[in-house]
Structure 1
Amino acid sequence: MATLKELFAKYKYIFSRRSNKKKKQSVEMGAENPLTKGSTHPALPDDGAPRLYSNRYCPYAQRAHLTLNAKKVPHHVVYIDLVNKPEWLVDVSPLLKVPALHLVGEKSKPSLIESLIIVEYLDEKYPQNPLLPKDPLQRAQDKILVERFNAAGGALMNIVLQGEGGVGLLRVFDIFEEELAKRGTPYFGGKKPGFLDYMIWPWFESLPVVKYFLKERYSFNKQRYAKLTAWVDLIVKDEVVQSHYATPEQHLTYWKSRKAGQTNYDLLA
């Protein structure tokens, strides 16, 4: 049986997505097309590598991708159509959620669900490039901020599907603008991205779609959000973020298809 290191060397270019279209090293391995109802479970190598069941446009699943890539953990990826879920998904995700991380290298081959549970497990299991703060208080405060950011996800959904929610989104931005100013660092994690940065980034990646759906009713004031603007400009260039990145055009196409009731997940570059 091939080792993870050997497998990584063999497949390292299969699954790279970058906004600049350059080929860069990736630790994701697998097929790109989302699997749907009536499909069979894909045959994956028996190499012990974790298997991430995901969806390309699910921000919660993106958290798991970013963490695995930050840790440089070779893993397989299986994309799921969340509108027409395959019948076998229940075998690896009892609640039919993504992300689900199937730990086939462990004795009982358990599956983990819920993005933050998966992220915390990975951060402890793979100590390289730690993401969560070492200080218990800071760690707790960052987790609280992640919870507070959840309102942004709901606001974004309302903006796309109902054409409202811009005020709620800006209120969340106010909290994080103030927090970043208070910390006095380029990233929430300090001099480089950490747990809080990667946990909230997926929603910022799709933020450009807001302008399309709200038009003149939405205004992201770069002076009001000077710290967040600088943060976005920095983190979008981060190697980990670029390892699993969709362009604004891809996000817009996805959200337009979702609003039209014809969700198209197969929009990979």
Structure 2
Amino acid sequence: MDYEQGINFTVYGSKEPPPLKGNKIRLYSNRFCPYAQRVALVLDAKKIPYEVVNINLSNKPEWLFDKVPGGKVPALEVENGEVLWESLIIADYIEDRYHQHPLYPKDPLQKAKDRILIEQFNRIINTMYRMMVSIGRMNINDDEVITKGLSTFEKELKDRGTPFFGGTKPGMLDLLIWPWCERADILKVFGNQHLLRRDRYKKLLEWRNQMSEEAIVKKSLLHSDYHIKYLQSYRAGMPDYDLILNSN
């Protein structure tokens, strides 16, 4: 099933897509993969046209393994059929390859600090993932990892004194941590409902509200209900990758 979505052209990945022509690029993705959403956000922020091939991760097509080791998503196919994978590597490639609408700070020191924060956020990501997919007793250290991690980002926003980590508009740091912040309400259902206290993370919650109103974020934004229903299907062993289509 093929359809158009903004500047993107989206297809489902059961049949191998034709070779790219000219300077076109193609994102191999999945609608519920936060790592793939990272790449889409960067492409949209830089206003780069691209094709999307959505992959059923429970039944990956054989042709995908010829392009990407392990059939990983996200993957980005670029000129001459070269394919890149790993969301952070792809994001840096896009920033270096396409100079319009730069997302990293110009100052090398600030850029390095933002990269450190991106790496620090990985601890939050790993813990959130464990909490979301685990059925049964939670690790007693998980809450502490998330609260300490989010406190670091709360303080960072206060110190910068800007609505976004990137300043007056979202930058690379904002975009690369957003997919998990979009899914944060899931923690109230599958984790600790008191984890995201408004009085503790006032700046972060203001940032989250402002991010959700950004046009580039809205292009891939899904309501928490979708994320919760998808995770329920995932935990049941039957991930519903067509949840959005079936809801329309």
Name the TM-score, length of structure 2 as normaliser: 0.90
- Residue from 159, 177, 188 that aligns with 2:154: 177
Alpha-carbon distance between aligned partners in 2 of 1:234 and 1:68, rounded to the nearest angstrom: 20
Structure 1 residue 243 corresponds to structure 2 residue 194: no
Q: Deviations over 1:25-51 (max 9, x none)?
A: x221112x4x3xxx3313477454101
Q: How many residues align?
A: 239
Equivalent position amino acid for 1:70 in 2:
A
Equivalent position amino acid for 2:152 in 1:
I
Equivalent position amino acid for 1:92 in 2:
K
Equivalent position amino acid for 2:210 in 1:
L
Q: CA RMSD in A?
A: 1.9
Q: How does 1:180-199 map to 2 (within 5 A)?
A: 180-199=157-176
The share of aligned pairs that are identical, in percent, is 42
Farther off after superposition, 162-171 or 244-253: 162-171
Q: Deviations over 1:63-92 (max 9, x none)?
A: 110011111111100011222211111222
Q: Deviations over 1:181-224 (max 9, x none)?
A: 111111000111000000000001111111111354x3311111
Structure 2 counterpart SS, 1:30 = strand
Farther off after superposition, 39-48 or 57-66: 39-48
The answer to whether the Cα contact below 8 Å between 2:38 and 2:87 also exists between their aligned partners in 1 is yes
C-alpha deviation, 1:58, in angstroms:
1.1
Name the TM-score, length of structure 1 as normaliser: 0.83
The answer to whether the Cα contact below 8 Å between 1:189 and 1:196 also exists between their aligned partners in 2 is yes
- Residue from 63, 67, 70 that aligns with 1:92: 67
The answer to whether the Cα contact below 8 Å between 2:8 and 2:49 also exists between their aligned partners in 1 is yes
Equivalent position amino acid for 2:158 in 1:
A
Structure 2 counterpart SS, 1:140 = helix
Residue in 1 that maps onto 2:9: 29
Alpha-carbon distance between aligned partners in 2 of 1:63 and 1:215, rounded to the nearest angstrom: 25
Structure 2 counterpart SS, 1:196 = helix
Structure 1 residue 145 corresponds to structure 2 residue 129: no
Equivalent position amino acid for 1:230 in 2:
E
Q: Deviations over 1:1-42 (max 9, x none)?
A: xxxxxxxxxx9x822xxxxxxxxxx221112x4x3xxx3313
Q: How does 1:5-84 map to 2 (within 5 A)?
A: 14-15=4-5, 26-31=6-11, 33=12, 35=13, 39-43=14-18, 46=21, 48-84=23-59
Residue in 1 that maps onto 2:126: 154
The answer to whether the Cα contact below 8 Å between 2:29 and 2:75 also exists between their aligned partners in 1 is yes
Q: Deviations over 1:49-68 (max 9, x none)?
A: 10100111111111110011
Structure 2 counterpart SS, 1:268 = helix
C-alpha deviation, 1:94, in angstroms:
2.4
Farther off after superposition, 206-215 or 51-60: 206-215
- Residue from 216, 236, 240 that aligns with 1:260: 236
Structure 1 counterpart SS, 2:191 = helix
Equivalent position amino acid for 2:234 in 1:
R
